[in-house]
Each structure stands twice: as C-alpha cells, then as structure tokens.
Structure 1
C-alpha cells in the first residue's frame, strides 16, 4: 500500500498558480428534467413544516401567515417526492409534470 502511495505522489505534476483564484459556483435550472412535481392541498395543510425540513434541495418554504402557505421553487425542485412521503397529513401529492393544475 505504501509503495502505491509513493508511486502516485512521485508522479503527480506540480502546477503554478499565478494570482488569485476565484471559483463561482452558480446553480443552473435543475428543475427542467423533473418528471413529477408536488401539488399541495392547502385546505388540508396544517403548516407543520415537515416538508420544508426533509426537502433535500431546500426549495420549500412554509409561510404560516398566508392561505397558500407552502411555496416551492420549481426552478430547482427535482420532483423526488420526499415531501409527499414525509407529510403527516398527506396533503402533498406528486402529479405528472405536464398535467394541468
């Protein structure tokens, strides 16, 4: 194992950096390849925030003062369905992306 590590470190190229290096990480519109999207039944929603907590993309906001209390950023929603699975009231359902409503 040590011999392999020495071989790999001996073969690595050295590079020079001339000046400051800046990386800009900008997220692209990742929701464009989604097949299903979440649809919320606002009448049944109790605004518990479970969907917001479990969303891996962090695109759900629960606003307790509004009637339509859940806002989803569909530009970045992947359509994974975790919010629908975790909702204790089952007020979130997954519908096909191209469907109406």
Structure 2
C-alpha cells in the first residue's frame, strides 16, 4: 500500500536556524566587494539597495557616516559571490 503525502517523513529540516552568525565565513572569499560612490545609485539619489536585498549572507549593512547613509560590507561574513556587483 502506498503512503499518503502527509504520512511521508519531512526532509531537509533546519535543526538550528540562524547558526550562520557562529561561523565567520569571510575567509572563503575569492573576491572582495568594493563600494564606489561614483556608481552607487543609493549615494547618487537614495534609491536602489539591490546589493542589500540580494546578498545571500546579509553582509551588506546600511550605516550612517557624516549625516549620510551608505552601504558597507561586513567582510567577516561576505563570501565574495559578486551578486552585489
């Protein structure tokens, strides 16, 4: 007799969510992100933020410097995937 879908054991369980903060994975990086004001749309007109939205490691942080908000990279966790570029 075949099992019903709700009788099949679950797979791919996340047993300890949020554990990425324990592991500083920046040492895996092959490329390093560099923020340039000349090409950043956030600096130019306060729009965009795609680097922050799409970073899979949450390594892009919005910080305030000299009364302006800019994006910075947390190199302890950035793996250098290049999605932010």
Structure 1, residues 24-79: CA drift from partner, whole Å, max 9, x if none?
x4521101121101111113312121110010111102347437x11110000000
Q: In structure 2, what is the equivalent of residue 39 of structure 1?
A: 34
In structure 2, distance between residues paired with 1:71 and 1:49? 11
Structure 2 segments unaligned to the other structure (5+ residues) = 3-15, 43-47
Q: Select between 74-83 and 33-42 the one with higher mean Cα deviation.
A: 33-42
Task: Report SS of the residue matched to 1:51.
Answer: helix
Where does the alignment leave 5 or more consecutive residues of structure 1 unmatched? 3-22, 85-101
3-state SS, counterpart of residue 32 of structure 2? strand
Structure-to-structure mapping, 1:59-74, within 5 angstroms: 59-63=59-63, 65-66=67-68, 69-74=70-75
Larger radius of gyration: 1
For residues 27 and 61 of structure 1, what CA distance do their matches in structure 2 show? 18
CA RMSD of aligned residues (A): 2.7
Q: Secondary structure at the match of 1:70?
A: strand
Q: How many residues align?
A: 64
**Which 4+ stretches in 1 moved above 6 angstroms?**
none
